[in-house]
Every structure is written in structure tokens, then in C-alpha cells.
Chains A and B, each alone.
Chain A
Amino acid sequence: MSSRIDRLVGRAIVLRADDLDTDRIMPARFLRSVTFEGLEAHVFEDDRRALASQGARHPFDDPARQGARVLITGANFGCGSSREHAPQALARWGLRAIVAESFAEIFIGNALMIGLACVSAARADLERLRQIADQQPDLDVVVDLESRRVHAGDVVVTIHQPESSRSALLSGAWDTTGQLLEHDEDVARTASALPYIRGF
């Protein structure tokens, strides 16, 4: 059984963009490996290099944001490829929660499997969170799954999460394999009732 996850606390990092796809988060060349080790070094690598070459700085390169635990971003985060390398890299970089307007479905499922909390908030509320996080890099942001709120200084916003994800994290049952192995006789019964398994 995995551990209960109910409250994530830490400094925030902000990405002001919608539709950040998993190729952006983790370019495919870093999938040339048989482990997830070391992926954290390459999070958003191409975006970071592109900005650096223009003399600008990506938030993941900002010294004030190192050690951040909560990512605050836009809509449809994690769209595209199903690569778990993307949430793995973000978690290994240090993130414990992502607050976005919305998430792509495969990404949010992959994140849940590794205990990375994904919660959504209304667009206007996200903007309030992004503003205070921009202004106060040292501020601890609290993502409280139990009360369905994010607290950032004076800013308090309501968050949403599929009930199944919330309950899995709160109960510590997000690492599913154990549960799936519990009732093998039910699995066998379901399979043997399928014509294509039984034989036509």
C-alpha cells in the first residue's frame, strides 16, 4: 500500500501556457533509455534552451524556483503522447502537485499512478495564484486535497479533482497493482465469459 497524500506544501513555479504537450515536457530523444533515471535534468529542455538562446530565462532555470513543489499552469496540460516519462520527470524534478485549468486524460492517469497530485481550478482563480506566486517566490503554497482548496498567502481558491483520484490519494490506494491482484478469481471469471477468450 502506498502512502496517503492529502496536503502538499511548497514553493510554486509558474508556466503561463495552455496545451503544454508531453513532447515539450520531455522530448522523445530522452526516451532512449530503459529506466526513468536522470529524466529530471531534461524537463522542458528544448523550451529552456530556446529561451536561453534569446537571453531569456525559463522558470525551470530560475534559481528562485529551484526546489519548487507546486506547478501552476494553464489548460490541457500534458496533452499528446502517453509517455509516463513526462510526469516521472516532473516528479523527479521535485514537483508534488500540479494546479492547472485542465489536464489531458492520459497524463492525469499517469500522474496519479505515481502519486503526483493533479488538481484543476477556474481560469480566473489560476491567474490569481499565478500572480501571487510570481510576486512572492518564497511563499509556501498549500494544496489541500481534503478541503479542496489551494492557499497561497491571502489567496484561497477552490480546486477540483475526479473523485476517484482524490479518494485514491487520500486513502493511499493510488499504487493500484496490489488491488488489481487481489481478486484473481474474478478476473478469470470475466475473461472466461468472453467469446474471444473462450473460443468462438
Chain B
Amino acid sequence: MGQTLFQKTWGRHAVRTLPNGQTQLYVGLHLVHEVTSPQAFDALRARGWRVRAPERTFATLDHIMPTRLEARPFADVMAETMAAALERNCREHGIPLFDRASGAQGIVHVIGPELGLTQPGMTIACGDSHTSTHGAFGALAFGIGTSQVRDVLASQTLAMSPLKVRRIDVSGTLAPGVYAKDLILAIIGRLGIQGGTGFAYEYAGGAVARLSMEERMTLCNMSIEGGARIGYVNPDRTTFDYLRGRRFAPGSSGDAAAFDRACDWWRSMASDPDARWDDTVQIDASSIAPMVTWGINPGQSVGVNGQVPRPEAGAPEAAGVAEALEFMGLTAGQPIAGMPIDVAFIGSCTNGRLSDLREAARIVAGHHVARRVRALVVPGSQAVAAAAEQEGLDEVFRRAGFDWRAAGCSMCLAMNADRLEGREICASTSNRNFKGRQGSPTGRTLLMSPAMVAAAAIAGEVVDVRTWRKDASVLAN
């Protein structure tokens, strides 16, 4: 009987069984940021403990970062306090910190892969639910709370129970104008925002095999929005090609044979063909349209040519649908296309990578943001920003009327100055449309792909990126 990647990786990292039956699990890579770590470092300090494996721990600043470049100290006093606390904690414990001076600062889930820190067969923990992103490489990567951050800092392990594995087999091909973001929104729409509780999602099948690493990251990133703490893709040639030559990848010191040996091990960690999955789901990628969320959780979405649903009397979700419609100011049965927007946000750990910016830039090139729409692009990292600027994408966006900002989490959760005002409606490439998520308690979020957000910014309303202008055939190129 074969094993899944989950079972193999879990087995290799299991230290022992704890008295309550949970597994003490070794954490191969611990990523740290400024929001969920200061209390954990304080707990260590209070007990006189040291960080057990500073060489397996890496930090960056992302959530509170101002996206307009400014010198330290930051004008935002709280941002300065949080940044200074992380700097002190990293200094005290010998943890590398990728700050702006390093040139490698960015959203923690963007820089881990970029630096080659994220590798197949690892366990990866971070005090952030979108840690599932790193599963794109065939790692078991999951979000933890601050008490668990404390545990990992102190022991490089945590107490956890194993998950079941659901294989999501995606056949067919995504149509032009349809992206990994649409695929994951469609999967969550089908399986529900709670459907993944207790599961790791293994994304497989021809459509997933054909996705680039950046697209796989988008897919795995939103696993948690479907309730699955972990999402992963088995490592393959695409994974290895991405990792080769990256700063922290094996063989980066010039030992090419080490990289080959690593590839052999990584390949061996992939799910075996005769593995047993706890559940299997089939999805046809060809049938998926560009998706738009209409509600207040990521499962409330519809194809761009679809209509906002009606609450079905007696259905368990009826109250939730009614609440969402009221909050969003929508009428049951109305088409989602044509919904006016006030703000367009392109960025986040879901869609803030170079390929995302390229897709959006292709749409906006030669156009201008609609009157009254405020639009911003926030690259996921300094490296993404530099690469985009090298290609002239920043100029494309600026000419089209977008703000071109510095790297950070920004308006995904509005812990910095970038936020919605009042009841503004935002077309957003981020991951959550929860009430108040983008900084205004009454602000409204429509989640979409970068291409769809770009098109909405130009049109001033939700449009189908496949057909919104005559030369949309550019997408087929």
C-alpha cells in the first residue's frame, strides 16, 4: 500500500506521541512576522527560554508595512512599535530578518518561495492562516496561533493531530481568461467554506500539473478559505525548475549534484499512485468561468455571467445568504456583471506575484482607470516590485492611473493606511471578503483574479474579462 505525501511527510517529522494522543511534530521551517510573534517572544523572555533553532527560523515585516516608502521611524507609531519589536526579537535570538534594507522584504508567503526557503517534503509553520500557500511545493504548511508560535520558537515542534487527505482531481484545461484564482473560488464554492475542516487538500490532475508554481501558490493559498488548514501539490519538474538556483535551495553554493540528490528525495515524497486518499473529488477545469464573490465569505461566489442567488427558504444557509445580500446591498437574482466598483486592489499573498502583475498589466495597457475608481497595485515583495519595474510594468500601471506601491499585505486586511472608506466596493485580488476585512466596517469586497480586477478598474464595474472589449482576444495569445 502506497502513501500520500501527507503521510510520508508527517511520518518523517513525527517526534513522538504526546500523552493526549497528539503528535509532537518537528517544524522544518518557521516563518515569523510582526503581528503574531511579539507575544510569543515575550513568553520566551518571561521563562528565560532561547529560540531552539534560529537557523530554521526566518522573519519579515509585511502586515503593518506602509506602502508609501518612508524613512524610519514610521509616521504610524504603532507600525514603528511593531517593527521595532520584531527587530529586537530577531537580534536577540539571531534570527535572520528580511527587512526593507535587505531588498528581500515582502509578504511572508511570497518571500519564502522566492528565496528557495520553501521546499518539498518540509513541514512549514507560520502564525498566519495563508501559510497553506507553501503547499504548492509539496510541503505540509499550515497556519498556527501565537501560543503555537511560542511552542515552535522554544522547541521547534508543536502538538498537532493528523489530518485526513482529500484528493481534488482537476481534469480539463482552464479556458483563456480563467486562472488559478477562479479554480480555487470554484472549488470552495462547490465544497463549502467548512468542507475542508479536518482535511488536507491534495490538488492533482492534468489541470494542476499544467499550472505554473505561482498559480499553484494561488491555489494552495486559499485552501484555508475552504476550511482546509493544508493544501498541497505533489512536487514535479515544474517545482524543481522553480527552485533551482534560488538563494536557499540545495546546491546554491555551487554543488549541482546536491540539487539532483534533493530532487530525488523530493520526488520520493510525492503521493504514490496506489496511495489511499480519505476522499476524492473530481473537478472539470474547462467548465469554470471567471469567478466573482457576491457575499461575505469566499464560498459565496458565482461565475461572472451568473446571478446573485436567492435565499432558499428552509435551507440551512438561507440566513447567511440573506445577511450577505443585505450587507452587500444586492438583490437576489441580480446579475453580478455590471456591479459598479469604487476601488481596485491588486496584490496580497494570493495574487501579488510577478505573473499576477503581468496578467493585470496586459489588461490595463493602453487604457485608463474609470473616473471615481481608486486603483492600487501592491507588489508582494521587493523582488516582485524590482522584477516588475525591470519589465516596465510599473509604468504601464501608472499611465493607466493606478498607484504603484511598495511591498506589503496592504488592503488585503488594512493593518496599514490602505483601507476602504465607508461602504466602498472593492474589486480585490485578495483572499477574504469578510465583513470589515478591508478596513471599513461597512466596506464591501468582490474577490476576483488579477485580470478581472484590472478589467473592472478600467470599466468601473464588474465585467467579463474574456469579452469586455473587442481586442480581448489578446488573452488567447
Contacts and interface: CB of A to CB of B under 8 A. Distances in A.
Interface string B2-22: 000000000011111011111
Interface stretch (B155-163, B206-214, B346-354): B155-163
Contacts of B35: 31, 83
B21 A167 contact: yes
A162 B161 contact: yes
A144 B137 CA distance: 43
A79 B14 CA distance: 27
B435 A23 contact: yes
A102 interface: yes
Contact of A183 (B16, B28, B147, B197): B16
A124 interface: no
B145 A113 contact: yes
A140 to B, nearest CB: 29
A27 interface: yes
A190 B14 contact: yes
A76 B119 contact: no
Interface stretch (B102-110, B255-263, B360-368): B255-263
A196 B265 CA distance: 9
B259 A113 contact: no
Interface in A139-185: 162-165, 167-168, 171, 173, 176-177, 179-181, 183-184
Contacts of B24: 179-180, 183, 186-187
Contacts of B53: 191
A23 B135 CA distance: 24
Contacts of A33: 78, 82
Given A80-B129, A164-B161, A17 B319 contact: yes
B143 A181 contact: no
A27 to B, nearest CB: 5
Given A28-B413, A84-B147, A46 B436 contact: yes
A91 B135 CA distance: 32
Nearest to A123: B316
Contacts of A83: 35-36, 145
Contact of B154 (A106, A162, A180, A196): A180
A3 B14 CA distance: 27
A116 to B, nearest CB: 11
Given A79-B194, A82-B144, A187-B155, A104 B39 contact: no
Given A50-B441, A113-B145, A200-B251, A195 B434 contact: no
Contact of A191 (B151, B156, B258, B320): B156
A29 B439 contact: yes
B151 A173 contact: no
Given A34-B82, A105-B227, A180 B158 contact: yes
A24 B145 contact: no
Nearest to B159: A176
Contacts of B437: 23, 28
Given A19-B297, A195-B262, A196-B121, A177 B15 contact: no
B414 interface: yes
A193 B12 contact: yes
A45 B53 CA distance: 38
Contacts of A84: 36, 127, 145-147
A35 B146 CA distance: 11
A167 B20 contact: yes
Interface residues of A, number: 64
A109 interface: yes
Interface in B132-170: 143-148, 150-151, 154-161
A171 B19 contact: yes
Contact of A109 (B122, B145, B439): B145
Contacts of B20: 163-165, 167-168, 171, 173
A123 B224 CA distance: 24
Contacts of B434: 21, 23-24, 80
A173 B159 CA distance: 11
A18 B85 contact: no
Given A35-B42, A176-B158, A186 B12 contact: no
A47 B12 CA distance: 45
B442 interface: yes
Interface in B183-238: 193-194, 197-198, 224-225, 227, 229
Given A82-B129, A167-B21, A173-B19, A194 B147 contact: no
Interface in A64-109: 75-76, 79-85, 87, 102, 104-106, 109
B287 interface: no
A9 B213 CA distance: 51
B64 interface: yes
Contacts of A196: 28, 119, 121-122, 250, 262, 265
B12 A194 contact: yes
Contacts of B78: 32-33
A183 B18 CA distance: 11
Interface string B64-103: 1000000000000011011001000000000000000000
Instruction: Give 3 nearest A-B pairs by CB, closest first.
Output: A84-B145, A110-B145, A113-B147
Interface of B: 12-16, 18-22, 24, 26, 28, 35-36, 38-39, 42, 52-53, 56, 63-64, 78-79, 81-82, 85, 119, 121-122, 127-129, 143-148, 150-151, 154-161, 193-194, 197-198, 224-225, 227, 229, 250-251, 258-259, 261-262, 265, 297, 316-317, 319-320, 323, 413-415, 432, 434-437, 439, 441-442
Interface of A: 17-19, 21, 23-24, 27-29, 31-36, 46-47, 49-50, 75-76, 79-85, 87, 102, 104-106, 109-110, 113-114, 123, 162-165, 167-168, 171, 173, 176-177, 179-181, 183-184, 186-187, 190-191, 193-197, 199-200
19 contacts: A23-B432, A23-B434, A28-B415, A32-B64, A32-B79, A76-B193, A105-B198, A106-B143, A106-B144, A109-B160, A110-B148, A113-B145, A165-B20, A177-B155, A187-B15, A187-B52, A190-B26, A191-B26, A194-B28
